[in-house]
Structure 1
Amino acid sequence: MKTYGGFLITQIQRLQGRVFEKMLKDSGIEAFNGAQGRILYVLWEHDKLSITDVGRLTSLAKTTLTSMLDRMEESGLVRRVPDKKNRRQIFISITEKAKEYREMYDQVSEQMNELFYQGFSETEIEDFENKLRRIINNLEK
C-alpha cells in the first residue's frame, strides 16, 4: 500500500506556517515570527526552561534554537538566566515585553485552529489528534 502521511504532514506544516505568519502580521504582531511564537508559547506556559527543554517542547534543533534565542534576546523577548547551582546550565526566561503579546497571540492561534478544523466534528478532531499522537510516539521510540 502506498502511503502519503509524511508528505501530507509536511505540506500541512508549510501551509500552516505561511498562513499563521500572515495572521500574525495582520494582527499587528511583528515582534516575532511563527517559529519564535512556538518558543514564546512554551515559555508562557512554563515561565523558565532550560534550552534543552525548550528544544524538546518546540521540536527545534539546538542550532536553530540558539540563533533564534539570540535574536529574541536582542529584541527583548527572552533573557538567558544562569543557574545559581550549576554555572554551565542556562535557563531561558520570558520578559515582560513578551508577556504583553500573550493575549494577541492566543487570539491568532484560536483563529488558526478555527481555520485548521473548519468542517470537522469534535469527534473527528479528537480522533485525528489521537492518531497524530500515535505517530509522534512511534517516531520518538
Structure 2
Amino acid sequence: MPVTLHMAINRVFHAQKNMTRPGMAQIGLSPGQPKILNHLSRQNHCMQKDIASALDIEPATVSQILNNMVQAGLIQRSDPAERRRAESVSITGKGREYLGKWQELCGEIEDVSMQGFTEKEKEQFVDYLSRMYWNLTGKEIE
C-alpha cells in the first residue's frame, strides 16, 4: 500500500508529539499550553474567545487550559473593570521563561526533523504546509 499524504502527515505529527511530550513535562507545561503562550507572546491582552478562534481550540477547552495556566503563574487575567470590557488574558514573566524553554526544545526537535533538507527545501516545506492549512481553514498559520 502506498503512503498517502494523510498517513504521512499523521505519522510525522505523532512522532514529533512523542519527542516533545517528555521535554514539555520537564519544562512544566501541559498539552495546549505552549501554543497559548506563543500566541500571547505575540498578541498580549487577548480575549479568551479570540484565543480559541486563533488557535482552533474549543472555547471550553481554552477555559480549562487557561485556568490551569493562571494557577501555574504562566498567565494572568485582567480585571474587567480595569479594561472597561470583558476580561483579557496576558502572559507573565514566568510564562515567557517557560515559552523560551519550549522554543529551545522545539528548535532542537526541528533540527533533528529537518536533517538532510536544504534551506530552500525547508522554506518550501513550510510554504506547502501553510498553503494546505489555508486551504483547510481559510486562515494563515500564526
TM-score range for the pair, normalised by the shorter chain length: 0.7 to 0.9
Is the strand fraction higher in 1 or 2? 1
Aligned to 1:85: 84
Matches within 5 A, 1:17-96: 17-25=17-25, 28-30=26-28, 32-81=29-78, 82=80, 84-86=83-85, 89-96=86-93
Identity, % of aligned positions: 24
Question: In the alignment, is residue 112 of structure 1 matched against residue 109 of structure 2?
Answer: yes
**Equivalenced residues, count:** 135
Q: Which moved more, 1:7-16 or 1:104-113?
A: 7-16
CA offsets per residue over residues 53-84 of structure 1, 9 Å max, x none? 32233332222211111111111111222362
Gaps of 5+ in 1: none
What is the rounded CA distance, in whole Å, between the counterparts of 2:108 and 2:50 in structure 1? Answer: 27
Gaps of 5+ in 2: none
Task: Decide whether the 8 Å contact of 1:20 with 1:34 is kept in 2.
Answer: no
What is the rounded CA distance, in whole Å, between the counterparts of 2:10 and 2:20 in structure 1? Answer: 15
Partner-residue secondary structure (3-state), 2:89: strand
Give TM-score scaled by structure 2 length.
Answer: 0.80
